[in-house]
A and B are shown apart, each in its own frame.
Chain A
Amino acid sequence: DTGVSQNPRHKITKRGQNVTFRCDPISEHNRLYWYRQTLGQGPEFLTYFQNEAQLEKSRLLSDRFSAERPKGSFSTLEIQRTEQGDSAMYLCASSLVSRDRVLETQYFGPGTRLLVL
Protein backbone atom coordinates (compact mmCIF):
# COMPACT_ATOMS: atom_id res chain seq x y z
CA ASP A 1 0.00 0.00 0.00
CA THR A 2 1.63 3.25 -1.13
CA GLY A 3 -0.95 5.63 0.36
CA VAL A 4 -0.74 7.80 3.45
CA SER A 5 -0.65 5.78 6.65
CA GLN A 6 -1.37 6.85 10.20
CA ASN A 7 -0.78 5.18 13.52
CA PRO A 8 -2.44 4.43 15.78
CA ARG A 9 -5.87 4.25 14.20
CA HIS A 10 -7.59 4.66 17.55
CA LYS A 11 -6.42 6.07 20.85
CA ILE A 12 -8.28 6.27 24.13
CA THR A 13 -6.59 8.25 26.85
CA LYS A 14 -7.38 9.88 30.14
CA ARG A 15 -7.55 13.62 30.51
CA GLY A 16 -4.13 15.07 31.30
CA GLN A 17 -2.13 12.40 29.50
CA ASN A 18 0.12 13.05 26.52
CA VAL A 19 -0.48 11.35 23.19
CA THR A 20 1.57 11.15 20.01
CA PHE A 21 0.35 10.28 16.54
CA ARG A 22 2.42 9.37 13.52
CA CYS A 23 1.84 10.00 9.83
CA ASP A 24 3.76 8.45 6.95
CA PRO A 25 3.06 10.35 3.75
CA ILE A 26 3.23 9.10 0.19
CA SER A 27 6.95 8.73 -0.36
CA GLU A 28 7.60 11.33 -3.05
CA HIS A 29 5.31 13.96 -1.55
CA ASN A 30 6.98 17.07 -0.22
CA ARG A 31 4.07 18.55 1.71
CA LEU A 32 2.39 17.12 4.77
CA TYR A 33 -0.69 18.51 6.48
CA TRP A 34 -2.44 17.85 9.76
CA TYR A 35 -6.17 18.40 10.16
CA ARG A 36 -8.68 17.86 12.92
CA GLN A 37 -12.24 16.77 12.24
CA THR A 38 -15.13 16.59 14.66
CA LEU A 39 -18.49 14.99 14.04
CA GLY A 40 -20.55 16.77 11.42
CA GLN A 41 -17.79 19.16 10.46
CA GLY A 42 -15.29 19.27 7.66
CA PRO A 43 -11.57 18.87 8.38
CA GLU A 44 -9.99 21.94 9.99
CA PHE A 45 -6.42 22.84 9.13
CA LEU A 46 -3.90 22.58 11.97
CA THR A 47 -0.44 22.84 10.44
CA TYR A 48 1.64 21.89 7.44
CA PHE A 49 5.21 21.11 6.45
CA GLN A 50 7.12 21.63 3.27
CA ASN A 51 9.81 18.97 3.54
CA GLU A 52 11.05 19.37 7.13
CA ALA A 53 10.04 23.01 7.56
CA GLN A 54 6.82 23.78 9.43
CA LEU A 55 5.47 26.68 7.39
CA GLU A 56 2.16 27.46 8.99
CA LYS A 57 0.22 26.79 12.17
CA SER A 58 -3.45 27.46 12.70
CA ARG A 59 -4.60 29.32 15.77
CA LEU A 60 -6.44 26.09 16.58
CA LEU A 61 -3.03 24.65 17.41
CA SER A 62 -2.66 25.63 21.04
CA ASP A 63 0.60 25.47 22.97
CA ARG A 64 -0.29 21.94 24.00
CA PHE A 65 0.07 20.78 20.40
CA SER A 66 3.37 20.28 18.64
CA ALA A 67 4.20 18.75 15.31
CA GLU A 68 7.49 17.68 13.82
CA ARG A 69 8.77 16.32 10.57
CA PRO A 70 12.44 15.90 11.39
CA LYS A 71 13.74 14.34 8.18
CA GLY A 72 11.11 15.56 5.80
CA SER A 73 9.46 12.15 5.69
CA PHE A 74 7.15 10.99 8.48
CA SER A 75 5.58 13.43 10.90
CA THR A 76 4.42 13.27 14.49
CA LEU A 77 1.69 15.25 16.21
CA GLU A 78 1.87 15.39 19.99
CA ILE A 79 -0.84 16.64 22.30
CA GLN A 80 0.22 17.34 25.85
CA ARG A 81 -2.12 17.39 28.84
CA THR A 82 -5.06 16.22 26.77
CA GLU A 83 -8.51 17.68 27.37
CA GLN A 84 -11.89 16.22 26.56
CA GLY A 85 -12.28 18.85 23.85
CA ASP A 86 -9.33 17.30 22.03
CA SER A 87 -11.47 14.28 21.17
CA ALA A 88 -11.64 14.22 17.39
CA MET A 89 -10.34 12.50 14.28
CA TYR A 90 -6.83 13.68 13.44
CA LEU A 91 -6.17 13.45 9.73
CA CYS A 92 -2.90 13.65 7.90
CA ALA A 93 -2.64 14.48 4.22
CA SER A 94 0.26 14.73 1.82
CA SER A 95 0.77 16.29 -1.56
CA LEU A 96 3.32 16.90 -4.23
CA VAL A 97 3.36 20.56 -5.03
CA SER A 98 3.62 21.37 -8.70
CA ARG A 99 5.45 24.42 -9.95
CA ASP A 100 2.25 26.36 -10.55
CA ARG A 101 0.77 25.24 -7.20
CA VAL A 102 -2.72 25.43 -8.63
CA LEU A 103 -3.40 21.76 -8.99
CA GLU A 104 -2.05 20.61 -5.63
CA THR A 105 -4.10 17.60 -4.60
CA GLN A 106 -4.00 16.35 -1.05
CA TYR A 107 -4.34 12.66 -0.27
CA PHE A 108 -5.56 11.73 3.17
CA GLY A 109 -4.58 8.99 5.53
CA PRO A 110 -7.18 6.94 7.42
CA GLY A 111 -6.92 9.18 10.48
CA THR A 112 -6.35 8.63 14.17
CA ARG A 113 -9.50 8.75 16.23
CA LEU A 114 -8.78 10.17 19.68
CA LEU A 115 -11.10 9.85 22.63
CA VAL A 116 -10.17 11.67 25.81
CA LEU A 117 -12.03 10.42 28.87
Chain B
Amino acid sequence: RKEVEQDPGPFNVPEGATVAFNCTYSNSASQSFFWYRQDCRKEPKLLMSVYSSGNEDGRFTAQLNRASQYISLLIRDSKLSDSATYLCVVNMIRAAGNKLTFGGGTRVLVKP
Protein backbone atom coordinates (compact mmCIF):
# COMPACT_ATOMS: atom_id res chain seq x y z
CA ARG B 1 0.00 0.00 0.00
CA LYS B 2 1.26 3.45 -0.89
CA GLU B 3 1.91 5.83 1.97
CA VAL B 4 -0.25 8.52 0.41
CA GLU B 5 -3.01 7.62 -2.02
CA GLN B 6 -5.13 9.80 -4.25
CA ASP B 7 -7.74 9.14 -6.91
CA PRO B 8 -5.86 10.11 -10.09
CA GLY B 9 -9.05 11.35 -11.78
CA PRO B 10 -9.58 13.19 -13.96
CA PHE B 11 -12.48 14.94 -12.30
CA ASN B 12 -14.38 16.71 -15.07
CA VAL B 13 -16.07 19.70 -13.48
CA PRO B 14 -18.44 22.20 -15.08
CA GLU B 15 -17.36 25.79 -14.55
CA GLY B 16 -19.02 27.16 -11.43
CA ALA B 17 -19.59 23.75 -9.85
CA THR B 18 -18.13 22.36 -6.65
CA VAL B 19 -15.66 19.51 -6.62
CA ALA B 20 -14.19 17.61 -3.71
CA PHE B 21 -11.66 14.85 -3.45
CA ASN B 22 -9.80 12.99 -0.75
CA CYS B 23 -6.35 11.74 0.01
CA THR B 24 -5.66 8.88 2.40
CA TYR B 25 -2.43 8.31 4.28
CA SER B 26 -1.19 5.18 5.97
CA ASN B 27 1.14 6.47 8.68
CA SER B 28 -0.76 7.62 11.73
CA ALA B 29 2.37 9.40 12.98
CA SER B 30 2.04 11.95 10.18
CA GLN B 31 1.92 15.39 11.69
CA SER B 32 1.26 18.03 9.10
CA PHE B 33 -0.45 18.09 5.78
CA PHE B 34 -0.50 20.22 2.67
CA TRP B 35 -2.16 20.55 -0.68
CA TYR B 36 0.06 21.56 -3.59
CA ARG B 37 -1.13 22.47 -7.05
CA GLN B 38 0.83 21.45 -10.11
CA ASP B 39 0.13 22.71 -13.60
CA CYS B 40 1.17 20.66 -16.60
CA ARG B 41 4.96 20.54 -16.92
CA LYS B 42 5.42 23.01 -14.07
CA GLU B 43 6.65 22.70 -10.53
CA PRO B 44 4.34 22.05 -7.56
CA LYS B 45 3.19 25.18 -5.77
CA LEU B 46 1.82 25.32 -2.26
CA LEU B 47 -1.93 25.77 -2.29
CA MET B 48 -2.62 25.54 1.41
CA SER B 49 -1.58 23.91 4.64
CA VAL B 50 -4.18 21.73 6.32
CA TYR B 51 -4.87 22.40 9.95
CA SER B 52 -6.54 20.02 12.32
CA SER B 53 -9.66 22.14 12.61
CA GLY B 54 -10.00 22.49 8.87
CA ASN B 55 -9.30 25.71 7.05
CA GLU B 56 -10.59 27.79 4.23
CA ASP B 57 -8.84 30.02 1.76
CA GLY B 58 -11.25 31.74 -0.56
CA ARG B 59 -12.95 29.10 -2.66
CA PHE B 60 -10.78 26.31 -1.26
CA THR B 61 -11.54 24.34 1.90
CA ALA B 62 -9.28 21.69 3.37
CA GLN B 63 -10.28 19.20 6.03
CA LEU B 64 -8.29 16.73 8.05
CA ASN B 65 -9.72 13.58 9.60
CA ARG B 66 -7.04 11.99 11.74
CA ALA B 67 -9.25 9.15 12.94
CA SER B 68 -9.87 7.96 9.40
CA GLN B 69 -6.52 9.20 8.13
CA TYR B 70 -7.68 11.26 5.22
CA ILE B 71 -7.47 14.82 3.99
CA SER B 72 -9.96 16.45 1.70
CA LEU B 73 -9.94 19.43 -0.61
CA LEU B 74 -13.09 21.15 -1.78
CA ILE B 75 -13.17 23.75 -4.51
CA ARG B 76 -16.27 25.91 -4.81
CA ASP B 77 -17.36 27.94 -7.82
CA SER B 78 -14.74 26.24 -10.01
CA LYS B 79 -12.87 28.42 -12.49
CA LEU B 80 -11.26 27.31 -15.72
CA SER B 81 -7.94 28.30 -14.13
CA ASP B 82 -8.47 25.69 -11.40
CA SER B 83 -7.64 22.98 -13.94
CA ALA B 84 -4.51 21.36 -12.58
CA THR B 85 -3.22 18.36 -10.66
CA TYR B 86 -3.65 18.61 -6.91
CA LEU B 87 -0.99 16.89 -4.86
CA CYS B 88 -1.64 15.77 -1.32
CA VAL B 89 1.46 15.97 0.88
CA VAL B 90 1.97 14.38 4.25
CA ASN B 91 4.76 15.44 6.59
CA MET B 92 6.23 13.27 9.29
CA ILE B 93 8.61 14.81 11.77
CA ARG B 94 11.48 12.51 12.65
CA ALA B 95 14.78 12.85 14.46
CA ALA B 96 16.49 12.54 11.05
CA GLY B 97 14.41 15.40 9.71
CA ASN B 98 11.01 16.00 8.26
CA LYS B 99 9.86 13.64 5.57
CA LEU B 100 7.40 14.89 2.99
CA THR B 101 5.57 12.18 1.10
CA PHE B 102 3.56 13.12 -1.97
CA GLY B 103 0.52 11.43 -3.36
CA GLY B 104 0.30 10.78 -7.07
CA GLY B 105 -2.05 13.69 -7.58
CA THR B 106 -5.67 14.19 -8.53
CA ARG B 107 -6.25 15.75 -11.91
CA VAL B 108 -9.07 18.28 -12.17
CA LEU B 109 -10.39 19.58 -15.48
CA VAL B 110 -12.80 22.49 -15.32
CA LYS B 111 -14.80 22.89 -18.51
CA PRO B 112 -16.98 25.76 -19.75
Interface residues of B (CB under 8 A from A): 4, 8, 31-32, 34, 41-46, 49, 87, 91, 93, 96-105
Contacts and interface: CB of A to CB of B under 8 A. Distances in A.
Interface residues of A, number: 27
A74 B104 CA distance: 28
5 contacts: A42-B103, A45-B101, A104-B98, A105-B46, A105-B49
B46 A107 contact: yes
Interface in A10-38: 31, 33, 35
A75 to B, nearest CB: 15
B98 A108 contact: no
Nearest to A44: B102
Nearest to B36: A108
A43 interface: yes
A110 B39 CA distance: 11
